[in-house]
Structure 1
Amino acid sequence: MAAVHPFKHRVSGLLALADVRMDGERDWDLQVHDERLYARLLAEGSLGLGEGYMDGCWDTRNLDGLLTRLLQAQLDQRVHGWHWVLDGLRAHLTNLQTRWRSREVGERHYDLGNDLYRAMLGQWMVYSCGYWAHVDDLDAAQEAKLDLVCRKLGLRPGMHVLDIGCGWGEALKFAAERYRVSGVGITISKEQAAFARELCAGLPVEIRVQDYRELHEPFDRILSIGMFEHVGVRNYRTYFDVVRRCLRDDPATGGGLFLLHTIGTNISATHTDPWIGRYIFPNSMLPSAAQIASAVEGRFVVEDWHGFGPDYDRTLQAWRNNVEAAWDHLPPRYDERFRRMWRFYLAASMATFRSRRSQLWQIVMSPRGVPGGLTAVR
């Protein structure tokens, strides 16, 4: 009789708490190919789980279903791994999102290749949650989200708009074409900036590779979509100070408006999951409502706080469908290990929203408060 790996029983017991079996027959069960996985899981937690999948140590027929069950059972809280402790110590001792460090995510993630993102994101090069309230496909959901942002900001012809973290420029292009505004977009990604400049050619839009802390000019409206996740709690007050100094302030109208579109989390933290930090978004972290509210205090009046986190699950599923259909047509640098990494990233992201561990918020703020209040737009 073959010897049983000394950690197998312990791992099996933990998985049972999530109704997951090793080598079971259900779609979400975990198929183990390398028994060294057991020690990796107990020592490294989510990092060992993600790297083990990348290395082919395990598989499942329903990756997002499996990961959702693990999160719902809070197994990530039971098995942190030593990397989580080390990352927490680093976040306590240092600012992980300095101007120098902030460029790392641009180089390692957003500069991976516009070919990958074009294949995954669809008609609109928008790398953030779509708005599915009244539509049923990805392209329509992204168009609806862009229009929702413009309507919430009350854009009018002639306004000058700033987009902090403009990505590939789609939001500014949309606003310039449909609402006849001018604008400035900043990004830390050279690949994104080059694409955005070409996309917005001929429009009154300027695209810069620039850190948000370098901004010192006035705008009528400011928006930031999917960038705040890279700011870090040590810099939240600085971030809102920058927005405050750049937003035109007319006491008669309550000043301009700022829209923050960000993923959020239910519990305040100082750093991200170790696997996400190593392979996807270095030096990132998700804000809690408490952290945002604390940083905003004394700087802005919150006019509207709109949550639609479940829409991100649908957005991620659409992205997965797109990229799975495109793998064979993408360059060989996206090899099998990269594909497994990307699948794990998308599935894990689905799981965080499906389990309601992550949220999606659009928050509209004004410097002084809109007289009579701001009518909520949906």
Structure 2
Amino acid sequence: MDGSLGLGETYMDGLWDCDRIDELVSRITKHNLESKLGLKAKLLLGAHLGRNKVISLFNKQSVTRCSKDVPFHYDLGNDLFQTMLDDRMTYTCGYWKHAEDLNEAQESKLDLVCRKMGLEPGMHVLDIGCGWGSFMNYAAEHYGVICHGLTLSKEQMALGMQKARDKRLPVNFILQDYRTYSPDISYDRVVSIGMIEHVGPENYKEFFTCANRFLKDDGAFLLHTIGTPKSQNKTDPWIDKYIFPNGVIPSITQLSSAMENKFNVEDLHNIGPDYDKTLVAWCHNFEERWGEISHRYDETFYRMWRYYLLSCAGAFRSRSLSVWQMVLTKEGAELPQYARAV
């Protein structure tokens, strides 16, 4: 009756179990089982055809809605994320090419981003959707840049500022939506790592317009995002209800259309399979350290969070989801050598 929403909710309620949720979801998505069920089978199973075919008549990622939706997930509690993530609190896909563990994978990803943008000491860098500041702190510490970061999460900002102060880094957090931000300077580099998934198709053009406005004419913008091979304007119903309200994963078509007349694509890199390993590592940490935070969360939350991490791992394993890193320059800018140096 409720499709993927019902699948997730019945797992949360303990009505079914599976030794390998990640592998279950990987096989379901890889073989597209939904399409292999005929009309009669769907009716027998109680499938509610057309349930999610609703056209939105309003902007689900407006400034007001985002100010509520983002904290819904990211303000759950720093203790939850500290038990799960790497030491730098990097809540995006790691880069496992030469890494042995999660800490190495995340530092490799952060360094990859820095090298792709050709960071040099003294540069001013803007991070749109900076999270706990893992990129800003790494870039300031290892490349000598000055970083400003935009976030809508008070919990993330508080912990991120503490981490930056502890190392006396030139990092500044700004609690503000990118659409209302009016900086006094133009930035040498702009980066957005795992944030555009909250922007929504209705706002992609404005997102790229803002990034273009923030950036110097000879600068570079690196966009890191989960990607899907099929354009859509909604997400999985279970993920939408319990994890990321109103989040939407973009397609190449949607992104390229939105950046038209604003940016050239200098480099495109898909590291999607690395998110499978990252999510499995997060789930391992979460399960191993559950006892440290179980007094704040109940058993239903435990099953919900485990299902979230492993079902997403399965989606990346089946290659129905990717992770793209795009190096962009303003239209008419000269080709930077660093954009293809890694």
User: 1:263–1:286: 8 Å Cα contact kept in structure 2?
Assistant: yes
User: Does 1:371 pair with 2:331?
Assistant: no
| Amino acid aligned to 1:67 | V
User: Does 1:128 pair with 2:96?
Assistant: no
Aligned with 1:149: secondary structure? helix
User: Does 1:185 pair with 2:173?
Assistant: no
**How much does 1:134 deviate?**
1.3
1:248-273: per-residue Cα shift (whole Å, max 9, x none)?
11xxxxx1000000000010000100
User: 2:221–2:328: 8 Å Cα contact kept in structure 1?
Assistant: yes
> 1:16 corresponds to which residue?
none
> 1:57 corresponds to which residue?
15
Structure possessing the higher relative contact order (Cα contacts under 8 Å, 6 or more residues apart): 2
Q: Which moved more, 1:129-138 or 1:224-233?
A: 129-138
> 1:110 corresponds to which residue?
74
1:159-217: per-residue Cα shift (whole Å, max 9, x none)?
11000000001111111111111111111111001111111112211101110101222
Distance in structure 1 (CA, Å) of the matches to 2:290 and 2:341: 39
1:214 counterpart (173, 177, 180): 180
Distance in structure 1 (CA, Å) of the matches to 2:57 and 2:47: 19
> 2:266 corresponds to which residue?
303
1:139 counterpart (103, 108, 111): 103
Count of equivalent residues: 329
RMSD across aligned positions (CA): 1.7
Under a length normalisation based on structure 2, what TM-score does the superposition of the two structures give? Answer: 0.92
CA spacing shift, 1:161–1:373, aligned 2, 3 Å: closer
**How much does 1:156 deviate?**
0.6
User: 2:261–2:331: 8 Å Cα contact kept in structure 1?
Assistant: no
Aligned with 1:256: secondary structure? strand
Q: Which structure is larger by alpha-carbon Rg, 1 or 2?
A: 1
User: 2:21–2:314: 8 Å Cα contact kept in structure 1?
Assistant: no
Unmatched 5+ stretches in structure 2: none
**How much does 1:49 deviate?**
0.3
**How much does 1:335 deviate?**
1.0
Give the % identical residues. 50
1:346 counterpart (304, 309, 313): 309
Q: Which moved more, 1:266-275 or 1:193-202?
A: 193-202
1:314 counterpart (274, 277, 288): 277
Aligned with 1:242: secondary structure? helix
1:294 counterpart (248, 257, 270): 257
Distance in structure 2 (CA, Å) of the matches to 1:194 and 1:276: 26
| Amino acid aligned to 2:134 | E
**How much does 1:314 deviate?**
0.6
Aligned with 1:297: secondary structure? coil
Correspondence 1:9-88 to 2 at 5 A? 43-77=1-35, 82=48, 85-86=51-52, 88=53
| Amino acid aligned to 1:69 | R
Aligned with 2:126: secondary structure? strand
| Amino acid aligned to 1:284 | G
User: 2:125–2:189: 8 Å Cα contact kept in structure 1?
Assistant: yes
Unmatched 5+ stretches in structure 1: 1-42, 250-254
**How much does 1:73 deviate?**
2.1
**How much does 1:74 deviate?**
1.2
Aligned with 2:187: secondary structure? coil
**How much does 1:60 deviate?**
1.1
Under a length normalisation based on structure 1, what TM-score does the superposition of the two structures give? Answer: 0.84
CA spacing shift, 1:76–1:335, aligned 2, 3 Å: farther
User: 2:129–2:149: 8 Å Cα contact kept in structure 1?
Assistant: yes
